[in-house]
């Protein structure tokens, strides 16, 4: 079991696997937590697909518990994880990208990890050694730190080596299927092929403004469709986002709401408009990324119908 994902405290309602020991035998119980205290854990066995069931809870005494591991909310397939990560890579291509075996090496502005990391996107990446020296050499040529994207499950060799690397925070990749009605909101929504200065002035990456070269990469053409959305009130841009459509996936990113207009429903309205835009441009599913500790962001995206699909982390090689 991985030790770099979902290591935080287990809470009621979450889907977990419990490895229990009875004498010399071991067995696993997978389901949703109903109770977890100093004496026992109670788990409702999952139904098909990893969804909650109404089956009676399995009670495992504390002394029989060997491992409790949090899982994704529902069952996901490795190929779906890979498909979403591939769509993301196409939406953030960087300046140069090249393949090294099963890994896509990307170099861009040196700031955002999505354009400046090696990603295990080949179908055999989970079975083959990580090309560490080739990755180091690539980023040394670009005078950038050697960073690796580690999506859970499809990059097992990298997960096993990660204990010796500097790890970034856990990032949730959340998804939803599209099939939405045109939203009715009191705000004026507009989307452009390219951002103007008002849009660029408002955007921050993890709370910090980006230099001009990094902002320029946001607007560089991609292998797909790109749009820069906003909400306006009395002619003023008060909320922004970037949408990309690659491989039939809408990528939803760069969400900002002006501080004085927060907690007024603008984030939800902006998201609803972008989902409808993506659907009208051929996307069938949508994804976004949010740091696992950003509880406010996770609540907002859950309101928009997104659910955690998988997690990934970035690691810097020593």
pLDDT score of 270: 94
User: How confident is the model over 276-299, as a mean pLDDT?
Assistant: 95
What domains, with CATH codes, occur in the chain?
Answer: 15-70 (2.30.30), 78-165 (no CATH), 176-313 (3.40.630.30)
Q: How many residues make up the chain in this entry?
A: 318
pLDDT in tens, 102-159: 999 999 876 678 889 999 999 999 999 999 999 999 999 999 999 999 999 999 999 9
Closest CA to 240 of 207, 276, 209, 274: 274
pTM here? Answer: 0.88
Structure tokens at 47: 């139904």
| Residue that is written with structure tokens 């990391």 in the block | 117
* Residue from 72, 147, 77, 79 nearest 108 by CA: 147
pLDDT in tens, 29-45: 999 999 999 999 999 99
Q: Looking at residues 204-213, what average pLDDT do you find?
A: 63
Residue percentage of the chain with pLDDT more than 70: 94
Give the model's pLDDT for residue 213. 61
Query: For residue 209, what pLDDT is reported?
Result: 62
User: For 156-164, which contacts have Cβ atoms below 8 Å and span 24 or more sequence positions?
Assistant: 156/126, 156/127, 157/125, 157/126, 157/127, 157/128, 157/129, 157/130, 158/120, 158/130, 158/315, 159/2, 159/4, 161/130, 161/132, 162/4, 162/313, 162/315, 163/3, 163/4, 164/318
Query: What pLDDT was estimated at residue 112?
Result: 79
Report the distance separating Cα 134 and Cα 132, nearest Å. Answer: 6
Which of 206, 197, 263 minimizes the C-alpha distance to 230?
197
- Token duo for residue 221: 């053409």
Instruction: Say if residue 77's pLDDT is above 80.
Output: yes
- 49 backbone φψ class: left, alpha, beta (φ>0; ψ -120 to 50): left
pLDDT digits (tens, 9 = 90+) for 85-99: 999 999 988 888 899
Give pLDDT, residue 108: 82
pLDDT in tens, 181-202: 888 888 899 999 988 989 988 8
Contact yes or no for 119/150 (Cβ under 8 A): no
* The pLDDT value given to residue 6: 86
pLDDT band at 3; cut points 50, 70, 90:
confident
């Amino acid at each position: 079991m991985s030790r770099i994902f979902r290591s935080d405290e287990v809470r009621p309602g979450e889907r977990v696997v419990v490895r229990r020991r009875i004498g010399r035998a071991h067995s696993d119980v997978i389901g949703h937590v109903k109770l977890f205290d100093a004496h026992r854990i109670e788990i409702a066995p999952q139904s098909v697909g990893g969804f909650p069931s109404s089956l009676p809870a399995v009670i495992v005494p504390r002394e029989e518990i060997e491992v409790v591991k949090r899982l994704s909310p529902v069952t996901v397939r490795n190929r779906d994880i890979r498909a979403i990560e591939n769509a993301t890579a196409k939406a953030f291509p960087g300046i140069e990208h090249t393949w090294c075996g099963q890994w896509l090496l990307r170099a861009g502005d040196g700031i955002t990890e999505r354009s400046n990391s090696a990603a295990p996107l080949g179908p055999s990446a989970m079975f083959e050694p990580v090309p560490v020296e080739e990755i180091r050499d690539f980023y040394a040529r670009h005078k950038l730190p050697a960073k690796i994207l580690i999506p859970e499950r499809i990059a097992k060799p990298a997960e096993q080596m990660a204990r010796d690397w500097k790890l970034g925070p856990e990032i949730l990749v959340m998804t939803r299927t599209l099939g939405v009605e045109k939203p009715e909101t009191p705000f004026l929504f507009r989307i452009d092929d390219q951002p103007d200065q008002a849009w660029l002035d408002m955007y921050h990456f993890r709370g910090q403004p980006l230099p001009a070269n990094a902002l320029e990469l946001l607007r560089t053409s991609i292998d797909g469709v790109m749009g820069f959305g906003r909400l306006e009130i009395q002619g003023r841009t008060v909320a922004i986002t970037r949408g990309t459509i690659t491989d039939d996936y809408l990528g939803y990113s760069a969400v900002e709401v002006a501080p004085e207009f927060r907690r007024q429903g603008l984030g939800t309205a902006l998201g609803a408009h972008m989902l409808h835009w993506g659907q009208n441009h051929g996307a069938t599913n949508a994804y976004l990324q949010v740091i696992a500790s950003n509880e406010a962001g996770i609540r907002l995206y859950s309101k928009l119908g997104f659910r955690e699909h998988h997690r990934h982390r970035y690691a810097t090689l020593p």
